[in-house]
Amino acid sequence: MIKLLIVDDSALMRRQLTMLFQEEGDFDLRQARNGKEAVDLNREFQPDVVSLDINMPEMDGLTALSLLMAERPVPVVMVSSLTEKGALATFEALNLGAVDYICKPGGTISLSIDEIKAELVAKVRAAAKARVKGKSPTRDLARRLKEEREKVPAPRPVAIRRGTGGEGVVVIGVSTGGPRTLEEILPLLPATTPWPVLVVQHMPASFTKSFADRLDLICPLRVVENASPMPLEAGTIYIAKGGADMVVTRRGGKLTVLPKPENNAFLWHPSVDVLARSVLECVDPARVVGALLTGMGSDGADTFAEFKRRGARTIAESEASCVVFGMPAELIKRGGATVVLPADQVAGQILSWTGVL
């Protein structure tokens, strides 16, 4: 049995969530009406996983989360609204140690629960097995370092550094646990990184702009959401726009990245596989570096394995640092990983392969 603590100030939402998980047949359930009750029940009930609302009276979700992690760290899935404010609060929760989040769609509660049922159950089950990392100091340190660098202005690279193999790109795919992991890796890439970096993080449309802006505050490289066609340039990290798939193509002989409507042939979006396939069509594999990081499922595993077969170099994040060892494990099973590394060594390997180190 999975011990699940449901935390929400809405009695109707608590009842709907309880009924949903009771139907699964393998959950031992408790409820809390606010953050204070959640902290007490985390101590008494000792759940395997917590679903935690953000906006609650008496003690909000973020305050409760910080206390949960300080007293008895437990995997937490945040329940967030599909708004910019909800996105910002969710990223703060992930920085504090939450494993994942689920977005509340609009409409009546009963219909909303039906819309998110399969995703919610899958995320809670995965979270129950996930590794809890606690609060990350990386973001605060990276912000301070960027502020110091900006006191001495330096020009950004404006074009792709070319070599014997032509243009190069770095492709990163990530899902559950990804925002926190990316905040640990991307700030370590210097402004001199010679290849553009393409990032697919499974995330809804209302979250990716806020996420790109958040990363731009702490990364030496410029970080943008790919909301329209953009020429690929070194010195830039492109975040796939939620609600779409990101692809690379050639326009006027120049590599360009653009969003396209979701391809229904693929389960997860934005899709790592869709991006990776487009890269294979446009870029010499010898000039491709791929990193498949923490996440549920297998998105990217097939195409990254094809990367390696064609001469690209690939990284699978190791189980030791993954929040959920799903996507990287699938890549390893397919023989598609050139190296298997913990998250804190990924940036260094990328820099080595792109010629910075």
69 neighbors 96 (Cβ within 8 angstroms):
yes
Phi, psi of 278 (to 5 degrees): -70, -35
Q: State how far the alpha carbon of 206 is from the alpha carbons of 186, 264, 269, 322, in Å.
A: 21, 20, 13, 25
Helix (H/G/I), strand (E/B), else coil: 183: helix
CB-count burial class (<10 Å; 0-12, 13-18, 19+) for 182: buried
> What is the rounded CA–CA span in Å between residue 332 and residue 318?
10
In angstroms, rounded to a whole number, what is the distance separating the alpha carbons of residues 108 and 246?
32
Active-site residue (options: 175, 210, 278, 298)? 175
User: Cβ contacts of residue 42 below 8 Å, gap of 6+?
Assistant: 5, 50, 68, 71, 72, 74
Q: Which of 53, 299, 318, 321 is catalytic?
A: 299
Buried b (16+ CB within 10 A) or exposed e, 259-270: beebeeeeebbb
Tokens of 153: 């202005």
Q: What's the number of CA atoms in the CB half-sphere (13 Å) around residue 269? A: 17
Catalytic residue among 202, 245, 269, 318: 202
Distance CA 82, CA 9 (A): 18
Backbone φ and ψ of 2, nearest 5°: -100, 120
321 in active site: no
- The answer to whether residue 206 is catalytic is no
Give the C-alpha separation, 195 to 287, whole Å.
9
Q: Half-sphere exposure of residue 276, counting CA atoms within 13 Å on the CB side? A: 27
**Active-site annotation holds for 136:** no
Active site residues: 175, 202, 299
